[in-house]
């Protein structure tokens, strides 16, 4: 199986450790993975802003770059959903639309793996972004993987399925509403006294982590699921 690694803009620019964790994890599991350096944005920001022409050009570029790969793995539910669910309206039913898979779904459903040998002592809440939760239904995959992490206890909170308020351009256009949504979501999480806030999307972690930072709260610590599974936070 030839796998192409798709690294979203947020990861590339702000959270490169998530890309490193994803690559390390896949290689450790014996996956033949390649990172095509010509890749760029998937076009989601342009698509959300209504610029169909620019998003179509980026989608076509994505298709050309990733077409050679049997599977395209992405550590982001948001960008995966863009390719799987919105590319058909832009470039038709291109092969990349069905081949692009979110990281946790790839591990559980394609590789048949749940135990990756990770360890992280502590209590955590899992947040799966709206695209992963409602369009990809990938929460179950992330949960199954995290329940196999040694020492980690997942805690359920009432706000688990609530939007973090980021929504890409939504946060830019409506910052007050966006921040209020994040604060509302975080209240039950902070009250649960957990050590970690885990997510499958770096954009959600940036939104929620920013609110935690401005409130000068050291806990919970935001971490991408890939970092946990690869063991980067343990220095391995």
Q: What is the 3-state secondary structure (H, E, C) of 15-75?
A: CHHHHHHHHHHHHHCCCEEECCCCCCCCCHHHHHCCCHHHHHHHHHHHHHHHCCCCEEEEC
Choose among 11, 14, 33: nearest CA to 24.
33
Confidence of residue 235 (pLDDT cuts 50, 70, 90): very low
159 vs 169: which has the higher pLDDT: 159
Surface-to-core class of residue 162, CB atoms within 10 Å of its CB (0-12 exposed, 13-18 middle, 19+ buried): middle
Given a contact cutoff of 8 angstroms between Cβ atoms, the answer to whether 27 and 84 are in contact is no
Asked if 2-110 and 119-234 have one fold, the answer is yes
Domain coordinates in residue numbering, the chain: 2-110, 119-234
Given a contact cutoff of 8 angstroms between Cβ atoms, the answer to whether 9 and 41 are in contact is yes
Q: How far is it, in rounded angstroms, from Cα 177 to Cα 94?
A: 36
Helix (H, G, I), strand (E, B) or coil at 221: strand
CATH architecture of residue range(s) 2-110: 3-Layer(aba) Sandwich (3.40)
Give the least confident one: 142-146, 166-170, 224-228: 166-170
Q: Average model confidence (pLDDT) for the chain?
A: 96
For 73, phi then psi, to 5°, come to -105, 135
Percent of the chain with pLDDT over 70: 98
Over 90: is that where the pLDDT of 236 sits? no
Over 80: is that where the pLDDT of 234 sits? no
- Residues 108-167 have pLDDT tens digits of 999 999 999 999 999 999 999 999 999 999 999 999 999 999 999 999 999 999 999 998
pLDDT for res 174? 95
CATH architecture of residue range(s) 119-234: 3-Layer(aba) Sandwich (3.40)
């Amino acid at each position: 199986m030839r796998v192409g690694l798709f690294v979203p803009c947020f990861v590339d620019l702000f959270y490169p450790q998530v890309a490193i964790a994803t690559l390390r994890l896949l290689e450790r599991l014996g996956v033949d993975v390649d990172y095509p350096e010509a890749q760029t944005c998937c076009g989601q920001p342009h698509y959300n802003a209504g610029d169909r022409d620019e998003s179509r050009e980026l989608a076509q570029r994505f298709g050309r770059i990733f077409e050679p790969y049997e599977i395209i793995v992405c550590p982001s539910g948001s960008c995966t959903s863009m390719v799987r669910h919105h590319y058909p309206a832009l470039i038709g039913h291109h092969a990349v639309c069905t081949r692009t898979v979110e990281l946790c779904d790839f591990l559980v459903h394609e590789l048949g793996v749940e135990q990756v040998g990770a360890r992280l002592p502590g209590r955590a809440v899992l947040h799966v972004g709206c695209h992963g939760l409602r369009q990809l239904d990938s929460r179950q995959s992330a949960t199954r993987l995290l329940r196999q992490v040694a020492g980690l206890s997942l805690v359920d909170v009432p706000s688990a399925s609530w939007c973090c308020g980021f929504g890409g351009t939504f946060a830019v256009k409506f910052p007050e509403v966006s921040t209020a949504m994040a604060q509302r979501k975080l209240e039950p999480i902070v009250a649960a006294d957990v050590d970690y806030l885990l997510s499958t999307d770096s954009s959600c972690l940036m939104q929620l982590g920013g609110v935690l930072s401005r409130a000068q709260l050291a806990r919970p610590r935001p971490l991408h699921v890939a970092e946990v599974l690869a063991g980067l936070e343990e220095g391995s």
